[in-house]
Amino acid sequence: MKVCTTVTDLDGELSAVRNDGKSVGFVPTMGALHKGHISLINSALEQSDFVVCSIFVNPTQFNDASDFEQYPRLAEEDEKVLENAGCNLLFAPSIDEMYPGGSDDFKISIDLGALATVMEGEHRPGHFDGVVQVVNRLFEITRPDYAFFGEKDFQQLAVVREMVRILGHSMEIIGCPTVREPNGLAMSSRNKRLSKAGFNTAANISSVLMSLQQRSESYEDMEGWAIEQLKVMPEIDLEYVKIVDGRTLMEANANSETVVACAAAWLEGVRLIDNVTLRPN
């Protein structure tokens, strides 16, 4: 596996790949890789000739400085994991390489409407500005044919699709299913910061969301039920449960083609998010 830390190096490698007529699949990550990330790499390997994974802990999408500082960084392990997965190239730039002259010069302003203001947008002000900034910068550097994102970050996937539509990027965005621990907890780099007990308790978030698949009252009542279930658990500090239309991310209704139950909660100082599709089921 080739490792590039500069844009110039990456350009050279990818020019050669494109000159050979090969398609490029791209998997952007923040590292501390787990099986969820590897499932994205596997999808990319299936659908493209040459797979690039980026590892960059993007400071501009963290609205909480201590979350940024405490974010797990495991560069050497990650490189081995990617090598074993068959990834072709790792792009691991520094902050200066990503944002020469400062990140302000790379801000982009697009109107994402409610997609960026509900749920994560409401609870993490500025988060999606940072996501759009870094993903756009990575897309301009990498110019992939396909880019792979996890449904685990359901709202992020919606935001990225809308960004690509607005900015007219020509790549295809491919959403990949959430990979879970045996206890149902969605895999996340942040899980590494949970104790054994916290890891077990965290599984309640997914199990409550999954229970909604068996319920048949109104979406409002389902939301209320899920909130009740999670609020009584003292270790879990619930931020929200929302049952939304999968396209607009507004409250789901009878006409919603896809319906997704989304939740965010704090546990042992770690912020966890998850979502489960209720319709189609």
Q: Catalytic residue positions?
A: 37
- Least distance to ligand AMP from the beta carbon of 5, Å? 18
Of residues 178 and 256, the one with the C-beta less far from ligand AMP? 178
Q: CA dist 221 to 40, 208, 212, 239, 280, Å? A: 35, 14, 10, 18, 19
- Least distance to ligand AMP from the beta carbon of 15, Å? 26
| CA distance linking residue 83 with residue 195, whole number of Å | 29
Sequence-distant (≥ 6) Cβ neighbours of residue 32 within 8 angstroms: 71, 72, 73, 74, 78, 189, 192
| CA distance linking residue 69 with residue 51, whole number of Å | 29
Q: Are 90 and 82 in contact (CB under 8 A)?
A: yes
**Neighbour tally for 80: CB within 10 Å:** 12
Of residues 150 and 246, the one with the C-beta less far from ligand AMP? 150
Of residues 162 and 223, the one with the C-beta less far from ligand AMP? 162
- Least distance to ligand AMP from the beta carbon of 68, Å? 13
Of residues 139 and 219, the one with the C-beta less far from ligand AMP? 139
Q: CA dist 139 to 43, 108, 249, Å? A: 18, 13, 24
- Least distance to ligand AMP from the beta carbon of 28, Å? 6
| CA distance linking residue 259 with residue 251, whole number of Å | 9
Burial class from Cβ neighbours inside 10 Å (0-12, 13-18, 19+) for residue 259 reads buried
Q: Which residues bind ligand AMP (CB under 6 A)?
A: 29-30, 36-37, 39-40, 149-150, 152-153, 176, 178-179, 186-189
Of residues 39 and 256, the one with the C-beta less far from ligand AMP? 39
- Least distance to ligand AMP from the beta carbon of 186, Å? 5
